Copies of this chain bind each other. A is one copy, B any other.
Amino acid sequence: MHSLLNNLNLTERLSQQVNFILETDKLKQVIRRNFIADGSRRENTAEHSWQIILITLTFSEYAKEKNIDLLKVIKMLTLHDLVEIYAGDVFLFDEKANVGKFENETQSADQLFGLLPEEQKSEFKALWLEFEATQTPESLFANAIDRITPFLLNSVNGGQSWTEAQVKAEQALKKLAVIEQGSDEIWNLFLQLLEQAKINKLLL
C-alpha cells in the first residue's frame, strides 16, 4: 500500500482502489518503440492508450459487428497495456522478445489487478484475457484499432521504429492480419498504408 493511505481514513475497498491508481501511474513511464506523429520522440504507453480510445470513438462505425458493445471495447483498450508496467513493452516485430510474452504478462496482470478488490480484479483480468484471445467482436475491433494506430503513426513520422528494426512488409502483413477480422474499412486503410510504406521504403 502507498504510504499516503496510512494517513487517510478510507474504506478498505477505496484504499485498494486508490493504491491501484497510484501504481498504474507508472504506465506513463513505459516507453514504446514507435514515435509520435511528428517523429520528435518515442511515445509512452499511457498516451498510446488514450489515442486508441479516441480512434475507437472516431472509427466506431467501422466495426465489422454492427451491434458492438463500445463500452467494452474501450474498457479493454484502457486496461490492456497495464501489464507492461511490470512486463515491459514488447515490440510487435521482435520475434525473440515475443517468446514467453503471454506468460510474463499473465503474471503481471495477476500482480497488478490483484491490488484491487476481488470482483474488480476478476472483471479487469477477464477483460484483459478477452482482448488477448481475439475471439469476440469487441476484442477483434479493439485489436484492429490497437494495431492500426502505430502503423498510421509510422506512416507519417518516417517509420524510424521500422527501419531501426529492419521490419519487412510481409511481417507487417502477417502481424496485422487480425485487423481484417475486426473491420473491413480499417483493413483497406492498412493495405493502402502498407503499399505507401513500401513505395517510400519505410518497410523492407
Instruction: Name A's B-contacting residues (CB within 8 A).
Output: 2, 4, 7-10, 14, 17-18, 20-22, 24-29, 36-38, 40, 43-44, 46-47, 49-51, 53-55, 57-59, 70-71, 74-75, 78-79, 116, 120, 124, 152-153, 155-156, 185, 188-189, 192-193, 196
CB pair B59–A78 under 8 Å, yes or no, is: no
Tell me the minimal C-beta distance from A24 to chain B in angstroms: 6
A-B contact pairs, 10 of them (CB 8 A): A8-B196, A14-B185, A18-B189, A22-B152, A25-B38, A25-B153, A28-B36, A50-B50, A57-B124, A58-B120
Contact of A79 among B38, B57, B155 (CB under 8 A): B57
Closest partner residue, chain B, to A3 (CB atom): B156
Contact of A58 among B21, B26, B54 (CB under 8 A): B21
Other contacts beyond A8-B196, A29-B36, A47-B47: 4, CB < 8 A = A8-B192, A22-B156, A28-B51, A50-B50
Closest partner residue, chain B, to A186 (CB atom): B14
User: Secondary structure of the A side of the interface?
Assistant: helix
Give the most central of A27, A58, A185: most B CB within 10 Å: A58
Closest partner residue, chain B, to A193 (CB atom): B8
CB pair A78–B49 under 8 Å, yes or no, is: no
